């Protein structure tokens, strides 16, 4: 055997034995796909990937996404064998190994860098958190879009700073998920020729063979999407894998799908039943038999031959180091010719804003008629985006309604023929849109995406993963309540607000008027590691007179006293969010005429309020003032923490109704009369 072929086979066997040993030691995990894909991953990393293990943050590195996150040990083995360095949790400092052999031995154990599914920020070299099938494929489309935009925006004649490609591996489960179809359809439409998916067609899922529920021609489907479709009939044929990857790199007008036929748990001759091979350890006896088939020492555990490490160092290590070094030199020359653009690249990579980003923020004059907060948000968004070139996004086919189109000169549309545009058209694909936003953010774009609040349900799995990764994605949800009116209960969000509030790490902001919208955007843009859901109204809301009421800057603390009685301590507190704040103000005025002194608190964000010091929270909601009423056009779940056992929450207990929004609001009690009556009841109860 040729020496290089011998080293390749030895390296592949090393990957497979590390997978087997780690899963067996953990007594948990999925060895099959990782073992079957070892030759594919080896060929990609060792011979193709433009990646420097010594600098996993190099901006022009090729991206590798393991959409089939259950095969995590495949990635951990590669990170270990190629010597990928670790970055700290802020991605500012590079130090020791990302995945040491000790960490592989601790696979799936508490605190290890080798969790059951790959986690971004936790394990360096992991480009995105994957596990829920199809999400990684969706993220990879965002990364590819970012690559196209970065090239169009920053590259100049003689300077090709951005030319990276994106590779993603997924399996039959990924192909069954709807998000994959959404993302693939858009990728084909945009002709993302820098995107390659490798489909591990092993025809096995947890329940058994895929023909139980999956019999379509995946290749034909992707050809219909506009992809270049290639096939490798044996996952062990490294020459054919290399040829397919070369064909991808030579394809300039469409993304590429490489269908790779594999056998799960290849080399484990007695473990071909789906449940054991896919989702359980092989067992000690089967591991010995498999190692014997590889010509491997049967009793050796976590064996890594020194020549395998050297082999990877001579391959991906030396290639990546040369490419990254050349890029750094090119960037230094680029900085001399284009200092402003170079400064923008550095700021993007560190998630820092340009100087003067907020210089054009508007101030809205008092106006009783006012405007919908979706409208004022569109004004603010355009003012900010002019000063932050990498702030960009779009809607799931709803930009005219969500007011999220960038309208200033030069904004443009991102399309197959014009990848420098900043307005994205995601189509009716809320789930894929949000996964793509995550991919854009992982590539250091500052993305936003929008839709109606009711459709946040379609996007929720990707929202959750974005929060888990601490990505500063901006989610703009309009048509926030039963104020949607005639569209009826199918389009009137009731439970969505509290649902979003349950996502750890997600900031939910529901501003009350145009100037709170300004302050909301001021807060949002300064987050570097927090996603935000900005919740906006369809209907007009009065723009409050801030000479009469407290400044809107109080929004930054999540809740603030908007109005207090002029003649002493309040008898009751009315708490509102969004459109219901103006209702609380009117109710307070009515109560004042009855001799009841009411404090009105605007509470646009529970999460920001909970971050404040106890003294501040107690100043807004004094513990000894127990008469409280909250008003929000959604379910009341969770409001008990703020109104307490002696207070009352006015909200929704059913779905909505189809009628003009004023009629719907009256039907469900969002009136001055009901708020005043509820306040009276609370006060009466407090006197008994």
Name the residues annotated as catalytic.
430
CB 50 within 8 A of CB 64: no
Quote the tokens at residue 136. Answer: 């990684």
Calpha distance 544→530 (Å, rounded): 29
Calpha distance 24→257 (Å, rounded): 33
Q: Sheet of 572-576: strands edge to edge?
A: 560-563, 598-602, 572-576, 628-635, 648-652
Four-residue CA torsion sign, 305, 234, 221, 34: negative
**Residue 416 buriedness (CB in 10 A; 0-12 / 13-18 / 19+):** middle
Residue 133: count of CB within 10 angstroms of its CB: 22
Residue that is written with structure tokens 């702030």 in the block: 391
Query: Percentage helix, strand, coil, to 5, in the chain?
Result: 45, 15, 40
From residue 460, give the alpha-carbon distance in Å to each of 135, 465, 589: 12, 9, 39
Query: Any idea what DSSP says for residue 478?
Result: E
Residue that is written with structure tokens 């904004």 in the block: 411
Calpha distance 659→665 (Å, rounded): 10
For 188, phi then psi, to 5°, come to -65, -40
Residue that is written with structure tokens 């080293």 in the block: 7
**Residue 468 buriedness (CB in 10 A; 0-12 / 13-18 / 19+):** buried
**Residue 177 buriedness (CB in 10 A; 0-12 / 13-18 / 19+):** buried
Calpha distance 485→479 (Å, rounded): 10
Contacts of residue 332, Cβ cutoff 8 Å, sequence gap at least 6 = none
Give the chain's radius of gyration (CA, Å). 28
CB 203 within 8 A of CB 211: yes
From residue 576, give the alpha-carbon distance in Å to each of 364, 511, 602, 651: 21, 10, 5, 11
* Helix, coil or strand: residue 628: strand
């Amino acid at each position: 055997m040729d020496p290089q072929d011998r080293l390749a086979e030895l390296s592949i066997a090393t990957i497979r034995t590390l997978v087997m040993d780690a899963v067996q030691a953990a007594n948990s995990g999925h060895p099959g796909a990782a073992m079957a894909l070892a030759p594919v991953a080896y060929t990609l990393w060792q011979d193709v990937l433009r990646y420097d293990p010594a600098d996993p943050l190099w901006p022009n590195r090729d991206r590798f996404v393991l959409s089939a996150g259950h095969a995590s040990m495949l990635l951990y083995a590669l990170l270990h064998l190629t010597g990928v360095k670790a970055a700290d949790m802020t991605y500012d400092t590079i130090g020791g190994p990302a995945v040491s052999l000790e960490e592989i031995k601790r696979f799936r154990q508490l605190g290890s860098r080798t969790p059951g599914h790959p986690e971004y920020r936790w394990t360096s070299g992991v480009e995105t958190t994957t596990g829920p099938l199809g999400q990684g494929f969706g993220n990879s489309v965002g990364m590819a879009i970012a690559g196209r935009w970065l090239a169009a925006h920053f590259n100049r004649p003689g300077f090709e700073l951005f030319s990276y490609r994106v590779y993603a591996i997924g399996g039959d489960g990924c192909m069954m998920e709807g998000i994959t179809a959404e993302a693939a359809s858009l990728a084909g439409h945009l002709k993302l020729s820098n995107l390659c998916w490798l489909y591990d067609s092993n025809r096995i899922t947890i329940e058994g063979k895929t023909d139980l529920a999956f019999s379509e021609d995946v290749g034909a489907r992707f050809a219909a999407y506009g992809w270049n479709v290639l096939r490798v009939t044996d996952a062990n044929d490294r020459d054919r894998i290399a040829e397919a990857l070369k064909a991808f790199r030579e394809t300039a007008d469409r993304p590429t799908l490489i269908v790779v036929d594999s056998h799960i748990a290849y080399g484990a001759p007695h473990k071909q039943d789906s449940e054991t091979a896919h989702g359980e350890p092989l067992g000690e006896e089967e591991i010995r038999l498999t190692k014997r088939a590889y010509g491997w020492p049967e009793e050796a555990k976590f064996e890594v031959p020194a020549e395998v490490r050297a082999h990877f160092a001579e391959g991906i290590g030396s290639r990546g180091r040369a490419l990254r070094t050349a890029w750094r030199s090119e960037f230094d020359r680029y900085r001399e010719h284009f200092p402003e653009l170079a400064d923008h690249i550095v700021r993007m990579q560190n998630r820092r804003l340009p100087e003067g980003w907020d210089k054009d923020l508007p101030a809205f004059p008092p106006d009783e008629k006012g405007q919908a907060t979706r409208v004022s948000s569109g004004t603010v968004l355009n003012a900010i985006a002019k000063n932050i070139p990498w702030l960009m996004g779009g809607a799931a086919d709803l930009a005219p309604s969500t007011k999220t189109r960038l309208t200033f000169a030069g904004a443009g549309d991102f399309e197959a023929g014009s990848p420098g545009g900043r307005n994205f058209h995601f189509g009716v694909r809320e789930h894929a849109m949000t996964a793509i936003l995550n991919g854009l953010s992982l590539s250091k774009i500052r993305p936003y995406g929008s839709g109606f609040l009711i459709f946040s349900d379609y996007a929720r799995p990707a929202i959750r993963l974005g929060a888990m990764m601490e990505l500063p994605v901006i989610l703009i949800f309009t048509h926030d309540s039963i104020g949607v009116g005639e569209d009826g209960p199918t389009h009137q969000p009731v439970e969505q607000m509290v649902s979003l509030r349950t996502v750890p790490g997600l900031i939910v902001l529901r501003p009350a008027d145009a100037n709170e919208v300004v302050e909301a955007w001021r807060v949002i843009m300064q987050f570097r590691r927090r996603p935000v859901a900005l919740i906006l109204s369809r209907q007009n809301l009065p723009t409050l007179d801030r000479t009469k009421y407290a400044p809107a800057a109080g929004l930054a603390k999540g809740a603030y006293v908007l109005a207090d009685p002029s003649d002493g301590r309040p008898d009751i507190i009315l708490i509102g969010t969004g459109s219901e704040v103006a209702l609380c103000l009117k109710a307070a005025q009515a109560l004042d005429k009855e001799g009841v002194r009411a404090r009105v608190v605007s509470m646009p964000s529970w999460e920001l309020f909970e971050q404040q010091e106890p003294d501040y929270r107690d100043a807004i909601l004094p513990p000894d003032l127990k008469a409280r009423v909250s008003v929000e056009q959604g379910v009341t779940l969770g409001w008990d923490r703020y109104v307490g056992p002696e207070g009352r929450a006015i909200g929704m207990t059913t779905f909505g109704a189809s009628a003009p929004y004023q009629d719907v609001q009256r039907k469900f009690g969002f009136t001055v009369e009901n708020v005043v009556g509820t306040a009276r009841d609370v006060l009466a109860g407090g006197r008994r």
